[in-house]
Amino acid sequence: MIGKRMGVSTIAFEQPPMLSAWAAVGGKKEQEGPLGAQFDQLFPDTMCGEATWEKAEMHMQQVAVRLAANKCGLPVLALDLMIAGDLLGQCVASSYAARSTQVPYLGVYGACSTMIEGLLLAGCMIDGGYAQRVCAAASSHFCTAERQYRFPLAYGGQRTPTAQWTATAAGACILSHADVQASVHLTHACFGKICDLGVTDANNMGAAMAPAAYNTIRTLLSDTGTHPGDYDVIYTGDLGRVGSRLLCTMAQDDSIVLADKHQDCGILLFSEKQDVHAGGSGCGCVASVLCAHILPKLAAGELRRVIVAATGALMSPTSVQQGESIPGICHAAVLEHVGKGES
C-alpha cells in the first residue's frame, strides 16, 4: 500500500468521510414500485410542474439537493462543492440545477454509474482536506432519455425483453469531514476501468455493463483482501436481470460466489408487474435506491457493511448509429455503519 492506495485500484480513506444526509426524489412509476414509500418526495406526473421534461429533471435534482441540505440544517450555500451529473448531453440537467445554487460545481458523466463516481470524488476531496462539505447528486428521466437515445415517445416502438426502463428520479448525498451525528462512513473507493466485450445492442445494456461490474468487484475484493461473505450486501447499479445473471455467472466461473450477497438497484426499484422488462436504469436509479433504501438501512444498523458498485454504459446516440460497441464502466464504494460519535 502506497499512501492511501491499496492494490491495483482501491483507495482506503485515512479519515473516512461521513454521510451526513441524503434525499431521494422520484416520479409516478417509482411511487408505484416496491420502494415508493421510502422516497423523500414523489411527483405524480412526469412534468413535475414544469414546461418540459428536461426542466422537470432539473427540478427533481434541485429538490433532492435542497432536501438533503435541509436534513443537515444547512442552507445549500454552506456547501463547499457540488458534484453532479445526468444522462443528457453536456449534463444540462445538473448544470442548470447547480446554476441556482451558486455553489462551486463539478459536472461529471459516468452514465448510470454517475452517482457513485460523484460520491467517490467527493470522498477524495474531503479526505484530502480540500473541502469540508460536498454534495454528490445525480438524476435521470425516462422521457428525456428516450428522446435523446431512442425514439420519440409517440412513435410507440416495441421494447425488447432485454431493455431497461430509465428511472425518473434523483438522489443527493452530503458528505462531511466531521459530523458526530453521522453513522454511515465511506471507507473505500474503487475506480473502475473501461471494459468492452463487443456488445453493440443498445437495448441490452446489462450485457454491456456486466463485465465492468465483475472487474471492479473482483479488483476491490482482491485489493482489500476481503470476500463476499465480509459484506452484508453487494449492490450493483442497473445491471437489471440480464446483467445480474451474467455477473453471477462470471464470478462463479472464478469460484467467487456472489449470488447469495448480490442485489441490483435496477431490480429493486421496480417490480416485474410494472412492465419494465429487464429492470430499471439511468443515473437516477442507483442514486435514488442509494438514498431511499440503502443508506437508511445502514444508518439504522440493519446493514453494517456494503459494496455499492454502480455501472454505466458509455455510449452516445452517434456511437450507436455508427455501429460502435458499448464500453462499460463500474465504480464501487464501500459504506459502513459506525455508531454515532465513534470514529
Residue 250 has pLDDT above 90, yes or no: yes
When pLDDT is cut at 50, 70 and 90, the band that residue 320 belongs to is confident
Span 205-229, pLDDT tens digits: 899 999 999 999 999 999 999 999 9
Residue 156, pLDDT score: 53
Q: Above pLDDT 90, what percent of the chain? A: 80
- Identify whether residues 170 and 95 lie together within a single domain: yes
When pLDDT is cut at 50, 70 and 90, the band that residue 317 belongs to is confident
- Identify whether residues 9 and 151 lie together within a single domain: yes
Average pLDDT over residues 313-317: 90
Average pLDDT over residues 301-316: 96
* Cα gap 145→140, rounded to integer Å: 7
The tally of domains found in the chain comes to 2
- Identify whether residues 189 and 68 lie together within a single domain: no
* Cα gap 55→48, rounded to integer Å: 9
Domain of residue 231, CATH code: 3.40.47.40
When pLDDT is cut at 50, 70 and 90, the band that residue 343 belongs to is low
Average pLDDT over residues 336-340: 84
Q: Which three cell numbers stand for residue 191?
A: 475506480
- Identify whether residues 213 and 105 lie together within a single domain: no
When pLDDT is cut at 50, 70 and 90, the band that residue 151 belongs to is low
- Identify whether residues 46 and 140 lie together within a single domain: yes
Residue 202, pLDDT score: 82
- Identify whether residues 16 and 113 lie together within a single domain: yes
Residue 277, pLDDT score: 79
- Identify whether residues 125 and 227 lie together within a single domain: no
- Mean model confidence pLDDT for the chain: 93
* Cα gap 305→232, rounded to integer Å: 6
Span 154-209, pLDDT tens digits: 545 566 768 887 999 999 999 999 876 889 999 999 999 999 999 998 888 899 99
When pLDDT is cut at 50, 70 and 90, the band that residue 342 belongs to is low
Average pLDDT over residues 276-302: 95
Tell me the sheet residues that pair with 107: 84
- Identify whether residues 171 and 188 lie together within a single domain: no
**DSSP states of 223-266 as a string?**
HHT--GGGSSEEEEES-HHHHHHHHHHHHHHTT---TTTEEEHH
235-247 burial, b at 16+ Cβ within 10 Å, e below that, comes to: bbbbbbbbbbbbb
From 116, 148, 176, the end of a domain falls on 176
User: Could you tell me the residue range of the domain that residue 144 belongs to?
Assistant: 5-176
Residue 80, pLDDT score: 97
Q: The pTM is what? A: 0.94
Q: What are phi and psi of 120, to 5 degrees?
A: -70, -40
Nearest CA-CA partner of 39 in 338, 290, 305, 315: 290
* Cα gap 166→60, rounded to integer Å: 15
